[in-house]
Amino acid sequence: MKYFLAFLSFTSLAMAEKPDGVQLFTTNCSACHLPDQMVVGPSLAEIRTLYLGKPDDFVKWCVAPQKKRPNAVDMPSMVHLGDEALRLIYEYIMKVSVGVKQVEQKKGDPYAASPVQAKRPQVQRIFMPNAGPAAIAVALDDKVSLCWDAGECRFRYAWSGGFIDGYPYWQANGSSLAKIVGEVKYTEKASPFKEMGEVKFSGYRMEKGLPVFQYQLGDKKITETPAALADGGGLSRSFTISPVPSDGLELNFQADEKVTYSSDKGTWSGSKLTLKAADAAVFTVNFTFK
Ligand code: HEC
């Protein structure tokens, strides 16, 4: 888990504004920790027993997790979240685990029956195949999901079918790489934006259950908000850019015969979108799966 230190460079990954314990926990911990049963990591009931009244020790563990349980995979360091966020998570865990009894691990997919996760989390920071260590997996709805790379500040790929299968996969191979459920429909090999300078992730915020990724590209502030198209038919990505480049904008998406491109603004030539300056401030691109 050495390369988790790379996260130090984007400490604000978890929502710059008003971080809250539930959301921080859901994004960063819930893939491995359930309230009442050991899954990848120990239950919240057990964590309560170990750490009630010991927030400092809790933070210490999260910053530098140890190898403690012989049959468990390694817990990735959460150092990038910072002290304050970890304390909010601590408070949330202590609150939500009041009176929760540890039970034997249930058969089947334990997440399906979890009271807090009747619906799978929509945003998970997790190790994903074919992405950097700073990958974020997003379930846009129950059909379309995507992987966004917060290290390189770019979309990686979208798939349809299901979300991710962290748990059974980790159990089977002892690694903390998640497995995609479904079929990858669209992949981008590079950012669609031309070189505009240094790229820097500035976190994401949640709007209507979906993440708004925010990053800096040279002197431009960019936001990217993904959403699912109807019936698993594909996805859209809405962009905002400020300040708007005075001579307009060109975006080069990967030519991919598995999607059809369209947008609310601009003109297309193959997989290349050209926008006039007046259209470049806010625009949406649709990727329809074939
Ligand atoms: C990729 C899976 C994974 C994620 C994500 C994860 N953990 Fe863990 N966690 C584990 C595993 C595995 C263990 C047990 C490690 C061992 O005992 O060797 C563990 C153990 C723990 C423990 C028990 C420490 C002890 O003394 O026994 C705490 C507390 C904990 N995690 C907190 C968190 C918090 C808080 C987050 C989110 C910020 C988090 N974990 C995210 C997998 C994960």
Instruction: State the pLDDT at residue 128.
Output: 82
* Ligand 1 center from residue 162 Cα (angstroms): 25
Closest CA to 235 of 254, 260, 215, 253: 260
Neighbours of 94 (CB within 10 A): 18
Q: For 67, phi and psi rounded to 5 degrees?
A: -90, 110
Q: Which atom of ligand 1 is nearest to the CA of 50?
A: 26
Residue bearing the CA closest to ligand 1, atom 20: 41
**Ligand 1 atom closest to Cα of 74?**
12
- Residue 166 C-alpha to ligand 1 middle, in angstroms? 14
Q: Are 194 and 207 in contact (CB under 8 A)?
A: no
Burial of 159 (0-12, 13-18, 19+ CB in 10 A): buried
pLDDT of 8: 33
Nearest Cα neighbor of 130 from 170, 178, 183 is 178
- The Å distance, Cα 30 to ligand 1 centre, comes to 10
How far is residue 27's CA from residue 23's CA, in Å, rounded to a whole number?
6
pLDDT of residue 195: 80
Ligand 1 neighbours (beta carbon < 6 A): 28-29, 31-33, 40-42, 47, 50-51, 58, 61-62, 67-69, 72-73, 75-76, 78, 89, 176
In angstroms, the CA 73 to CA 71 distance is 7
- Cβ neighbors of 192 (< 8 A, separation 6 or more) are 154, 251, 252, 253, 273
∠ CA 226-13-192, nearest 5°, is: 45
pLDDT at 80: 78
Distance from Cα 137 to the centre of ligand 1, integer Å: 19
CA angle 130/136/139 to nearest 5° reads 105
Q: What is the pLDDT of residues 137-169, one digit of tens each?
A: 888 888 899 999 988 999 999 999 888 776 655
Residue 39 is predicted with a pLDDT of: 79
Q: Ligand 1: distance of its center to the CA of 170 in Å?
A: 14
Residue with CA at minimum distance from ligand 1 atom 36 = 29
d(CA 162, CA 197): 36
What pLDDT was estimated at residue 7?
A: 38
Please report, for residues 3, 50, 64, the alpha-carbon distance to residue 59 in angstroms, rounded to integers and kept in the order given. 20, 13, 9
pLDDT at 106: 65
Q: Report CA(152)–ligand 1 centroid distance (Å).
A: 26
pLDDT of residue 111: 58
Distance in angstroms (rounded) separating the CA atoms of residues 226 and 260: 16
Q: What is the pLDDT of residues 86-140, one digit of tens each?
A: 999 999 999 999 999 888 876 655 555 444 444 555 777 777 888 877 788 888 8
Residue written as token pair 């190790």: 127
Query: Which two structure tokens, joined as six digits, stand for 227?
Result: 């959403």
CA distance 170 to 32: 10
CB 134 within 8 A of CB 146: no
Residue with CA at minimum distance from ligand 1 atom 31: 41
Collect the ranges in the chain with pLDDT lower than 50.
1-17, 113-118
Q: Indicate which residue's Cα is closest to atom 34 of ligand 1.
A: 29
